[in-house]
Amino acid sequence: MPDDPRTLAVLTSGGDAPGMNAAVRAVAKVGAARGLRVVGVEDGYDGLIDGRFRPLTFDDGNGQFRAAAEVDRLSGLGGTTLGSARSPRFRTAEGRSTAAKRIEGMLGLVVIGGDGSLTGARALGSEHGVKVMGIPASIDNDIGCTSSALGVDTALNTIVDACDKIADTASSHRRAFVVEVMGRRSGYLAMAAAIAVGADGVLLPEHGRSEEAVLDAVEQLVRAGLGKAGDKRRVLVLKAEGVAIPCTKLVRIVEERMRALDATIEVRATVLGHLVRGGAPSYFDRMLGNRLGLAAVEALLAGASGEMVAWLATVQGGSRTNDPSIRRFPLDQVLDETAALLDGTSPVTQWRLRLLESVEGVLPL
């Protein structure tokens, strides 16, 4: 790949997220408009180590660049057209050194991904002086400094649609359902969706409950709703996958306990799994991807590096951009805030839980 300061590389890394393609589109379109050759890196950091590049622009013969035709349809495509991977090789100093050599001399690298991907981007900058700019992408919404990452809105719409469908059949048969949603270390998806679907309860890793306490909370909810004194047609509980007890085990034990009281009570489990990560991006994620992509290219052209562009920042500080809704934060601050989000010490996590508790009066747990 050319050792050329007019070349910009972009990669997607970690768990894919709807909206990643919209960000790739914006990087290609804006880069070409600003006189840059833009290349996509295939399969994240693995492809960078191997030097697997895909041109996203072409020279129009007048020394200018135009975005390739494939770029036009990217905004509305789910997943990531560049491919993604979790790269053990990149976790080694040798792997990162090989990767850095592949883009030596280029203007810089846009990294679209989550916590691990942004950690890798920071290492490329600190260890090899690579100019990097991060774009937050993680359906878990577990990235610091940004109120939303790419993929969150689409994932929530998918969960809401699934829960509405489940609530239909649950009400028809007067059943309880526990619906498990993704969110490896963060309960944000379960929390936000629970309010949106009018769930009767939500189970979050942030609650820090024991397995027995989780069982008791769900049993109590089912008893209140479907037991002798209960008047509900359905009980719907959302469970974040980070709550350790397997969904099927939870449901089996609660049903056994309830059956001891009333043999007609039925409790079912639905695990949404990777369904939550697929699908065409929503308007919001397309808009977010394009605006973050634009801001990332403009930041690198302005000489910034080692940062992430954040949407409606959740913390003070950072640098302004041409977009009033986007600020840039140093990757050190982003990754520190991400850790605080996940260990619960961040005011953002505490605010989100307080919001849920205020609604929890409606969500009797």
Q: Does 15 bind ligand F6P (CB under 6 A)?
A: yes
Q: Does 144 bind ligand F6P (CB under 6 A)?
A: no
What is the rounded distance in angstroms from the CA atom of residue 343 to the CA atom of residue 352?
13
Q: Does 270 bind ligand F6P (CB under 6 A)?
A: no
DSSP 328: E
Strands 319-320 and 7-12: unpaired
Q: Does 140 bind ligand F6P (CB under 6 A)?
A: yes
At 302 the three-state DSSP class reads coil
What is the rounded distance in angstroms from the CA atom of residue 302 to the CA atom of residue 311?
19
Q: Does 31 bind ligand F6P (CB under 6 A)?
A: no
Q: Does 139 bind ligand F6P (CB under 6 A)?
A: yes
Dihedral through CA 108, CA 109, CA 110, CA 112, nearest 10?
A: -170
φ/ψ (deg, to 5) at 280: -70, 140
What is the rounded distance in angstroms from the CA atom of residue 37 to the CA atom of residue 6?
6
Q: Which member of 57, 87, 138, 314 binds ligand F6P (CB under 6 A)?
A: 138
Q: Which amino acid is at 188?
A: Y
Which positions from 305 through 324 interact with ligand F6P, judged by CB under 6 A?
none
What is the rounded distance in angstroms from the CA atom of residue 347 to the CA atom of residue 159?
26
DSSP string, 251-266: HHHHHHHHHTT-TT--
140, 142, 200, 285: the catalytic one is 140
Least separation, in Å, of the C-beta of 181 and ligand F6P? 8
At 43 the three-state DSSP class reads coil
**Has 140 been annotated as catalytic?**
yes
Structure tokens given for 60: 């129009």
Q: Does 39 bind ligand F6P (CB under 6 A)?
A: no
Complex with ligand F6P: residue 105 or 273, whichever CB lies closer: 273
Q: Does 182 bind ligand F6P (CB under 6 A)?
A: yes
Least separation, in Å, of the C-beta of 182 and ligand F6P? 3
Q: Does 87 bind ligand F6P (CB under 6 A)?
A: no
Distances (CA, A) of 82 to 46, 47, 78, 260: 12, 10, 11, 53
Closest CA to 117 of 129, 99, 94, 102: 99
Of 64-72, 134-142, 202-210, 314-322, the window that binds ligand F6P (rule: CB under 6 A) is 134-142
Least separation, in Å, of the C-beta of 45 and ligand F6P? 14
Q: Does 298 bind ligand F6P (CB under 6 A)?
A: no
Least separation, in Å, of the C-beta of 16 and ligand F6P? 8
Q: Does 183 bind ligand F6P (CB under 6 A)?
A: yes
Complex with ligand F6P: residue 227 or 278, whichever CB lies closer: 278
Q: Does 247 bind ligand F6P (CB under 6 A)?
A: no
Of 39-47, 132-140, 253-261, 341-349, the window that binds ligand F6P (rule: CB under 6 A) is 132-140
CB 142 within 8 A of CB 120: no
Complex with ligand F6P: residue 205 or 225, whichever CB lies closer: 205
Q: Does 241 bind ligand F6P (CB under 6 A)?
A: yes
Least separation, in Å, of the C-beta of 239 and ligand F6P? 13
- The H-assigned helical ranges of the chain are 20-33, 44-50, 93-102, 115-128, 152-173, 188-197, 211-226, 247-259, 283-301, 331-343, 347-360
Complex with ligand F6P: residue 184 or 233, whichever CB lies closer: 184
What is the rounded distance in angstroms from the CA atom of residue 353 to the CA atom of residue 191?
8
Complex with ligand F6P: residue 161 or 212, whichever CB lies closer: 161
Give percent helix, percent strand, percent coil of the chain, each to the nearest 5.
Answer: 45, 20, 35
Complex with ligand F6P: residue 15 or 144, whichever CB lies closer: 15
The binding track of 98-127 with respect to ligand F6P, each residue x by CB under 6 A or -, is: ----------------x-------------
Q: Which residues are catalytic?
A: 140
Question: Residues in the site for ligand F6P, rule: CB under 6 A?
Answer: 15, 114, 138-140, 182-184, 241, 277
